[in-house]
Amino acid sequence: MKPEEKAKELYLKYYIPDYCFAKAGMSSDWRQTASKKYATMVVDEIIDNGIKWMPEVDWWIEVKKQIQLI
């Protein structure tokens, strides 16, 4: 899987549907920001906890960059 694909997968996994936590007058921007934040947190945990033994750490760093580009 390419880093771009994994980034999109994680982003969509943590995307908050429109009907959840919606209040009148809220824009959808907060959903995108929150989804990026949660997906980035997951990748950070993977990197922080596996950096000593994980040969594909560079791949995860690229995934993190791609999340921010979504």
Q: What is the pLDDT of residues 27-63, one digit of tens each?
A: 667 788 889 999 999 999 988 887 667 778 889 999 9
pLDDT at 50: 72
Token pair for 58 = 């560079």
CA-to-CA dists, residue 64 to 10, 13, 17, 21, 48, angstroms: 10, 15, 22, 26, 13
Task: Count Cβ atoms below 10 Å from residue 34 Cβ, excluding itself.
Answer: 14
Query: Is there a contact between 64 and 44 (Cβ–Cβ < 8 Å)?
Result: yes
* Residue 6: pLDDT over 80: yes
CA–CA separation, 1 and 36 (whole Å):
19
The type of residue at 59 is: W
